Amino acid sequence: MEITFTKEAIEKLTDKIPSNKKLKLKYDTDGCGCVVSGVAALWIVDEIEEDDQEVETNFVPVVIEKTKMVFLDENLTISFNETANTFMLTSPSQILNPRMSLIEK
């Protein structure tokens, strides 16, 4: 899996992730009713869990649950939309989440 951050996303995230924390791309299914109806979000977490895998990026390593990687495309881009003041997750073939949250857990 390849994840690329745009310059704007890097600028927005640089001061938000403490050095002792990890950035996690969470495929959140809570309240969605079905695992295939999940929503991608960015979480700032304290540690890596047993099912997590770190993916190197052009910014910081991103943690992703191995069991949820099947719901994500192989090439992903995380950008920042100034107008909506939110992050966006896209792939070459689709927009996975145009208004992706950044949540500190």
13 phi and psi angles, rounded to 5 deg: -90, -20
Residue pair 79/6 in contact by the 8 Å Cβ criterion: yes
DSSP-derived pairing of the beta strands 62-65 and 52-55: antiparallel
Q: How confident is the model over 88-102, as a mean pLDDT?
A: 94
Instruction: Categorize the per-residue pLDDT at 29 as very low, low, confident or very high, splitting at 50, 70 and 90.
Output: low
Distance from C-alpha of 89 to C-alpha of 69, rounded to nearest angstrom: 14
Give the tens place of pLDDT for each residue, 61-81.
999 999 889 889 999 999 999
Looking at the chain, how many residues does it have? 105
Q: What pLDDT score was predicted for residue 33?
A: 46
In the predicted structure, residue 100 carries a pLDDT above the cut 60: yes
The stretch 28-43 carries a mean pLDDT of 67
**pTM over 0.85, yes/no:** yes
Identify the pLDDT of residue 77: 98
